[in-house]
């Protein structure tokens, strides 16, 4: 008998396979299988007014090849078809040498803004002339990050609109995303500056436009490997490039192009305990950095007629801090990923974004997006209509043949099925 594919196994069989392959320990697999909720003590102390817990399925994208290393990538996501698409893209990319990533800098930026200063030019000059003092203030504000080899790296004062004095602080937050580290340093510097210069202190906080934490991922695909039963690989590649070009001149398309990228990125960001609101804010501000909202990735021909995809986006993710050390599943997910540091994690996440984009564009320009979605969409509708696991096997083929795939059809067909099975 043919060996079933990973997605055809039951959840327990999938966990057993991951243990067998050495990706998960038995303890971690048992912990995932038990799916225990957080204790009231943890949940109640994490947020205010806690009244319950919210469930999101956790899945895995297998064998994503990034910088010649193979990763099992955890996805926390409620949307059907995202993992299937990423798996498909991971497989194709693997056959073509995988993803290559680079991150030039990994710094967080904070802003300290003052107004109503008597002499903006003199105030700016004071900042430039008193860097040593301000660096000492930053060190004293957060000594432990300095001990870890991080802390304030650069102060850039700018006059904005002849009204504001902005200090941009570049801070190395090491393995943490660093929002709290940055905010602590910003506030200390803000008070020191205001004490000296007067004026009104408007705000001192990090910016989520983490443009000093940009990651680039790329993949090169032999168009022949894209060939389907009905379309030549070269035709698919040509159309993917054209669709990518279109996103550069049509904001409506760029938004959806980027949403597809974020399908995978948010899922890994969430699974690894990172702040997805921060990542979303950063990514979209980066997409709009030149004024017009742009796609985060693009596709082109190389000189030797290969299809090359490239994504560039800020990914200030952390391995420690926030809820990362608190949530047991996040710890398991880090072990499943076998990721060593924040830079490596950011590279994997960028590759996931490009993989997701690859799968979406390929589907769009060949079969259309709905074909692959239909079966999963039908499953969601059937579950929402109340179908049991046993009923699903009978209901799904009927639903997929129906003229209108919607809730009413699912409810009606389920009722018919139950009447017949009585
Ligand atoms: P934390 O405040 O938890 O700080 C991380 C801590 O981890 C450090 O202070 C450090 O403490 C410790 N640590 C241990 N090992 C390391 C290491 N190798 N490198 C760096 N730090 C290490 O988290 P963050 O500062 O990262 O802030 C992230 C949180 O802030 C998230 O929960 C986010 O949602 C939230 N947030 C986000 C905002 C935004 O995005 N706009 C605004 C405000 C908050 P020590 O050195 O003392 O051991």
State the 10-residue block means of pLDDT for the chain, 422 residues long. Answer: 91 98 98 95 95 97 98 97 96 97 96 97 98 98 98 98 98 98 98 96 98 98 93 96 98 98 98 98 97 97 98 98 95 98 98 98 84 76 88 87 87 91 83
Whether residue 406 is found in the same domain as residue 346: no
Tens digits of residue pLDDT in 349-407: 999 999 999 999 999 999 776 676 677 788 888 888 999 888 888 888 888 888 888 88
Q: What is the pLDDT of residue 363?
A: 94
Residue 20 lies in a domain: no
Give the model's pLDDT for residue 1.
75
The CATH number for 186's domain is 3.30.70.420
Are 337 and 227 within one domain?
A: yes
Query: Best of 46, 274, 315, 321 to mutate for ligand 1, by most ligand atoms within 8 A of CB?
Result: 321
Q: Does residue 233 sit in the same domain as residue 269?
A: yes
Q: Are residues 161 and 255 in the same domain?
A: no
Q: Is 135 inside any structural domain?
A: yes
Shared domain check, 254 and 391: no
- For the record, the structure tokens of 63 come out as 């064998």
Q: Is there a single domain that holds both residue 58 and residue 137? A: no
User: Which pLDDT value is given to residue 204?
Assistant: 98
Of 207, 224, 246, at which residue does a domain stop? 207
Its pTM stands at: 0.92
Gap between the Cα atoms of 157 and 169, Å rounded: 9
Residue 370: the pLDDT is: 66
Question: In terms of domains, do 306 and 411 share one?
Answer: no
**Does 339 share its domain with 197?**
no
End-to-end CA distance of the chain: 34
Segment 148-172, tens digit of pLDDT: 999 999 999 999 999 999 999 999 9
Does 292 reside within a domain? yes
Query: Which of 23, 174, 257, 373 is the catalytic position?
Result: 373
Distance 182 CA to ligand 1 centre (A): 9
Query: Does residue 1 form part of some domain?
Result: no
Any domain includes 91: yes
Residue 349 lies in a domain: yes
Last residue of a domain, one of 158, 176, 207: 207
Please report whether residue 251 resides in a domain: yes
Same domain assignment for residues 249 and 353: yes
Residues framing ligand 1 (Cβ under 6 A): 144-145, 148, 173-181, 206, 208, 275, 278, 318, 320-323
* 67 belongs to a structural domain: yes
Question: What is the domain count for the chain?
Answer: 3
Among candidate residues 116, 133, 147, 259, the one labeled active-site is: 259
Domain that includes residue 230, residue range:
37-104+215-366
Look at the chain and count its residues: 422
């Amino acid at each position: 008998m043919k060996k079933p594919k990973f997605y055809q196994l039951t959840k327990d069989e999938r966990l057993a396979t991951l243990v067998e392959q050495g990706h998960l320990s038995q303890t971690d697999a048992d912990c995932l299988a038990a799916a225990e909720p957080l204790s009231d003590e943890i949940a109640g102390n994490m947020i205010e007014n806690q009244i319950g817990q919210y469930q999101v399925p956790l899945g895995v994208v297998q064998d994503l090849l990034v910088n010649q290393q193979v990763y099992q990538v955890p996805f926390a996501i409620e949307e059907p078809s995202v993992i299937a698409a990423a798996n498909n893209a991971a497989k194709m990319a693997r056959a073509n040498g995988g993803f290559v990533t680079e991150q030039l800098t990994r710094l967080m930026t904070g802003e300290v803004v003052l107004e109503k200063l008597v002499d903006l030019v003199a105030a700016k000059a004071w900042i430039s002339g008193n860097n040593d003092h301000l660096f000492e203030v930053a060190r004293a504000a957060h000594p432990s990050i300095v001990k870890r080899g991080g802390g304030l790296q650069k102060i850039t004062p700018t006059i904005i609109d002849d009204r504001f004095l902005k200090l941009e602080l570049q801070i190395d937050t090491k393995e943490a995303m660093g929002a709290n580290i940055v905010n602590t340093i910003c506030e200390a510097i803000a008070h020191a500056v205001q004490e000296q210069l007067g004026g009104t202190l408007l705000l001192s906080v990090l910016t989520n436009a983490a443009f000093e934490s940009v990651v680039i991922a790329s993949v090169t695909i032999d168009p022949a490997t894209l060939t389907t039963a009905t379309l030549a690989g070269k035709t698919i590649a040509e159309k993917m490039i054209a669709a990518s070009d279109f996103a550069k001149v049509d904001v409506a398309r760029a938004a959806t192009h980027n949403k597809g990228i974020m399908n995978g990125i948010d899922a890994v960001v969430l699974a690894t305990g990172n702040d997805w609101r921060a990542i979303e804010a950063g990514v979209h501000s980066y997409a709009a950095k030149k004024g017009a909202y742009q796609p985060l990735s693009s596709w082109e021909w190389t000189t030797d007629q290969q299809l090359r995809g490239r994504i560039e986006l800020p990914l200030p993710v952390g391995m420690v801090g926030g809820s990362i050390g608190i949530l047991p599943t996040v710890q398991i997910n880090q072990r499943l990923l076998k990721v060593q540091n924040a830079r490596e994690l950011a590279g994997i996440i960028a590759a996931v974004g490009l993989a997701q984009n690859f799968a979406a564009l390929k589907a769009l320009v060949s079969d259309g997006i709905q074909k692959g979605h239909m079966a999963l969409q039908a499953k969601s509708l059937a579950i929402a209509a109340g179908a049991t696991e046993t009923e699903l096997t009978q209901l799904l083929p009927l639903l997929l043949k129906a003229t209108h795939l919607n809730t009413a059809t699912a409810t009606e067909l389920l009722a018919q099925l139950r009447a017949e099975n009585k």
